Structure 1
Amino acid sequence: MSTSSTFRTVPPAADVVIIGGGVMGASIAFHLAEAGVDDIVVVERGDLGSGSSGKPIGGVRAQFSDPLNIELGSRSLRAFRDFPHRPGADIGLETVGYLFLLTDARQATDFEIAVGIQNSLDVPSRMITPHEARRLCPYISPEHLVAAAYSPTDGHARPGLVVRGYADSASRAGVTFATNTAVTGMDTSGDRVTAVHTDHGVISCSTVVCAAGAWSGQIGDMVGIDLPVRPVRRQLAFTEPLTPPAPRIPFTIDFSSSAYFHNSDDGLLFGLADPGQPVGFDTTWTAEWLDLFRAAARRHAPALADMRTDGGWAGLYEVTPDHNALIGRSGELDNFLYATGFSGHGFLQAPAVGEIVRDLYLDRTPCVDISPLHADRFRTGAEIRPEAHVV
């Protein structure tokens, strides 16, 4: 990536230091630079997009159960569709739709309610029968399904291309990307952060934005701010090339097990959120988790259970207690902003969140009310109802 370079020393000062060079940090840098903010430095401990944004393919959707996440998803979907023009990059967007497979009446009722909310916000989702679901995705066995939910405007894209598109545009606008540079501490004075320490030097600054993903808790601890983010490994696998080629199918999810699959180049991609995965920073890919996927597939998409796989990917979700993001301005340090804890939704919400953080920095009213996502909600008992769709 042309914007990625190792710094022997970092710039001595900046107006804004963004900690984290994944899709969230890149989106924030792009939107700030586009708004005319000068002197921005993005500090990334590895290469750009080397954390959770290294996932080869990421879902993009507006099918959520609450208005705030629906709005973030919808606004981001519009930005993804416009990405070839702004900032100007191909991101491999495939608008194939999202298909949720539902196995009991309670799930169907919950999704009917959610679809009603989505429709009221101009999301064209709808409830469909199991046989309609099979027509959309021929791998499905409808026998054990009671219903499905589908939205044709959802789909998937390539996170690495999104990071590169944002970062290249931001770099052309003068943003500095200090990669392979670790944050080691911060200085504060009164209610403000005054400097960010890195292993390549100290950057005095006017504002800090934490977009460090699974590492955000550690960044908050440096200045006494509680960002309750836990790192949890998530894994996926690729099938061997398929002959004949796989049909073009929606991003399909068995809601009960979280097992999902969709097209990937010349085969399929399999994924599943292992409920027994312990908290930690381990990103070793292991084939054993595929047993969970295959067990779920045998019930709802039996042809997938015996497909041969050829490697995979493991990365970290940044999970909060209620599986909703942390976005806001610190109450303790007025110039410390944060956008983290997306619990699997960071890629799909990154364009909208970049706009929101830009507006918080410029003291504008954001496009949506993100006050429910303030990190202090866990201290005040104002947690949001857990958002269960975490793929």
Structure 2
Amino acid sequence: MADGTQLPARANVVVIGGGVMGVSAAFHLAEAGVGDVVLLEKNALGSGSTCKAAGGVRAQFSDRLNIELGQRSLEAFARFRQRPGQEIDLHQVGYLFLLDDPNAVAAFEQNVALQNELGVPSRMLSPEEAQRRAPLVNTEGLLAATYSPADGHCTPESVVLGYATGARRHGARIVTGCAAVGVETVGERITAVRTDRGRIETDTVICAAGAWSREVGDWAGVDLPVTPLRRQVLITEAMADLPPDLPMTLDFATSFYFHREGRGLLIGMSDPEEEPGFKLGRSDAWLPRLGAAIERRAPQLLDVGFTSGWAGLYEMTPDHNALIGEATGIDRFLYATGFSGHGFLMGPAVGEVLRDLYLGRTPAIDVAPLDTARFAQERSRPELNIV
């Protein structure tokens, strides 16, 4: 296993960011035989956004590319115990989207048709069918729901550990507590990455820095339009009689969601009044809005106490879709960022894509439409199914 504490003088490729994207890229590169792969993480692995994620994994999206990335990743999560070799507490209990607006119902019917075309076993449900799967749900005002049994949730920390251990096993070097602070270039060629512990000569950089990616892109003259936005989650106290197969349940109108977490629930919701920025502390300002959403859709939870919670950062792009590709204007600067809340679940598939882009192979999934140039060329492709 490679020594992860010393900073090497040279690397074939430097991955910046130790969340799921970074460790997945490092694993897939090293597994493919790429030598001298170095991953830099300024804190602990997964300490940025990944280990503050809700852990949902799904293929229910509105964008064909996202469906394909989600589906391929679900397949990898299902066999994660064998490759790279780690128990991730995967619960394929399904995702249940609750719909109370006719326009949303029509949009989700189109989504389900596209998902089915691509092999995703999603389907429309009546409000009564939705409540049978999630008894906590109040069906008042509901018109329909969608459900896919292949979706679910797992433990982000375990996924990061599995990929990091696998990457080291194949010879990659993972250096934590080491912040990248710059990229050196000569003309259109990368020559080195500067860190707060020294300099690494390299001709290839992979930016997997999540909410911090805009600055990394700036070092190399690459525009990565990523904006940080705080999201918060809470963990309830133990609850009696929770169904063992309770799906990840989301009220699409409010983005309020919950899934089982131990003997209680993990609960979250986006806050429409949250202002962008690197705010990592918890705030109570959103609780009245969360309470209103709970009262409307799962009123039984109003009587349940909370034991803990945390805040993390979404990495938002203008169309709520990821940035994946290789930059133009500078040689060998690859990036995978801006997933706008669905990055954790796409980690396995995107790691494969980054490996193939580095090796000059054609990826199994064509991510060309997700390059950062799409905004300048007015070809954005909104992802509507985000929470």
Q: TM-score scaled to structure 1, two decimals?
A: 0.96
Deviations 1:200-247 (A, max 9, x none): 100001211000000000101112111000010000000011234565
Matched residue count? 387
Whether 1:93 and 2:90 are equivalent positions in the alignment is yes
Residue identity matched to 1:258: S
Take 2:114 and 2:170, find their aligned partners in 1: how far apart are those partners? 39
Whether 1:107 and 2:104 are equivalent positions in the alignment is yes
Q: What's 1:389 paired with?
A: 385
**Secondary structure of the residue that 1:117 maps to in structure 2?**
helix
CA contact (8 A) 1:192 1:336 kept: no
Q: What's 2:311 paired with?
A: 314
CA contact (8 A) 1:156 1:251 kept: yes
CA contact (8 A) 1:325 1:340 kept: yes
Q: What's 1:335 paired with?
A: 332
**Secondary structure of the residue that 2:105 maps to in structure 1?**
helix
Residue identity matched to 1:249: L
Identical amino acids, percent of aligned pairs: 55
Whether 1:181 and 2:167 are equivalent positions in the alignment is no
The structure 1 residue matched to 2:29, chosen from 21, 28, 32, is 32
Residue identity matched to 2:386: V
Q: What's 1:256 paired with?
A: 253
The structure 1 residue matched to 2:144, chosen from 127, 147, 156, is 147
**Secondary structure of the residue that 2:130 maps to in structure 1?**
helix
Q: Which runs of 5+ in 2 are unaligned?
A: none
After superposing the two structures, state which structure 1 stretch, 54-63 or 119-128, moved more.
54-63
Take 2:54 and 2:376, find their aligned partners in 1: how far apart are those partners? 35
Take 1:3 and 1:333, find their aligned partners in 2: how far apart are those partners? 30
Whether 1:12 and 2:9 are equivalent positions in the alignment is yes
Q: What's 1:305 paired with?
A: 302
Take 1:233 and 1:306, find their aligned partners in 2: how far apart are those partners? 26
Residue identity matched to 1:134: Q
The structure 1 residue matched to 2:129, chosen from 127, 132, 137, is 132
Whether 1:64 and 2:61 are equivalent positions in the alignment is yes
The runs of 4+ residues in structure 1 deviating greater than 6 Å are none
Deviations 1:176-214 (A, max 9, x none): 111111111111012111100000100001211000000
CA contact (8 A) 2:2 2:172 kept: no
Q: What's 2:266 paired with?
A: 269
Residue identity matched to 1:28: A
Take 1:289 and 1:173, find their aligned partners in 2: how far apart are those partners? 44
Deviations 1:351-374 (A, max 9, x none): 000000000001000111111100
Take 2:2 and 2:318, find their aligned partners in 1: how far apart are those partners? 34
**Secondary structure of the residue that 2:285 maps to in structure 1?**
helix
CA contact (8 A) 2:233 2:310 kept: yes
The structure 1 residue matched to 2:165, chosen from 164, 168, 171, is 168
Take 1:333 and 1:321, find their aligned partners in 2: how far apart are those partners? 23
Q: What's 1:279 paired with?
A: 276
Take 1:198 and 1:301, find their aligned partners in 2: how far apart are those partners? 48
Take 1:244 and 1:37, find their aligned partners in 2: how far apart are those partners? 50
CA contact (8 A) 1:59 1:348 kept: yes
Query: Shift of the alpha carbon at 1:306?
Result: 2.7
Deviations 1:303-350 (A, max 9, x none): 112321112010011110100000000001121000001111110001
Q: What's 1:77 paired with?
A: 74
CA contact (8 A) 2:61 2:111 kept: yes
